[in-house]
Amino acid sequence: MGHAIARLHRAFTKCEKEVEFWNNSLLDEMKGWIRETLTNNQWNIIQETEYSKAVDLLESVYDCLPKQLIHRDVHFGNFLFSEGKLSGYIDFDLCQRNIRIFDICYFLTGLLAEETEDAFTKAEWLENLKSVLAGYESIIHLSEKEKSAIPCVMECIEILFAAYFLSINDTRHADNAYHVFRFIQDCENDIKNAI
């Protein structure tokens, strides 16, 4: 799937100047509506210290992370396959300019959020992480800053999901997002070693 994301990103760089899209910032979202939502919820799902640690780390590297047009909703449901091969992409309504690694991190955290009997073990997920990154880098090189920011961006994405689900009063899914956040925190060193 890393190949598929990289091919999409490469295509986006070619059409970025031709298409109007939303210029967004994960960091601004973290410091804006996400913080406001978590504060209004009295930090019941995610503790303020956990939030602050993730945001401070993101802020320390954010300006160094390449930005470009991204899909912003990369999961298997938005990839089309024909005879086992990627044949297209759908659902571009969330496309925006943002940090490039967002799509990779979103896809990888999405694998953890799947609520199926086929859920990944930690070892399987780490192998998927390696495979996705290797596939991506076979087409587009990731900077060392991007690689080191991957765990932090994944954590921020799960905080974003927790806040979103809280904003629509869906505490079950907010709690699930928190569990994925904790999983990523708990295996941060394993993630860095896999990268």
- Tell me the two tokens of residue 98: 């943002």
Of the candidates 111, 109, 117, the one whose C-alpha atom is nearest the C-alpha of residue 152 is 109
Backbone angles phi, psi at 145, to 5 degrees: -60, -45
Instruction: Please state whether the predicted TM-score (pTM) of the whole model is above 0.85.
Output: yes
**114 — pLDDT class (breaks 50, 70, 90):** low
- Tell me the two tokens of residue 94: 């969330």
- Tell me the two tokens of residue 11: 């295509």
Q: What is the tens place of the pLDDT at every residue in 119-177?
A: 678 888 999 999 999 999 999 999 999 999 999 999 999 999 999 999 999 999 999 99
Q: What percent of the chain has pLDDT over 90?
A: 67
Q: Can you list the domains of the chain with their CATH numbers? A: 2-194 (3.90.1200.10)
- Tell me the two tokens of residue 92: 């571009």
Instruction: Return the H-helix or E-strand segment holding 109.
Output: helix 101-113
Mean pLDDT of all residues in 10-30? 90
Q: What is the pLDDT of residue 116?
A: 47
| Interatomic CA distance for residues 176 and 8, integer angstroms | 29
Q: Is the pLDDT of residue 117 over 70?
A: no
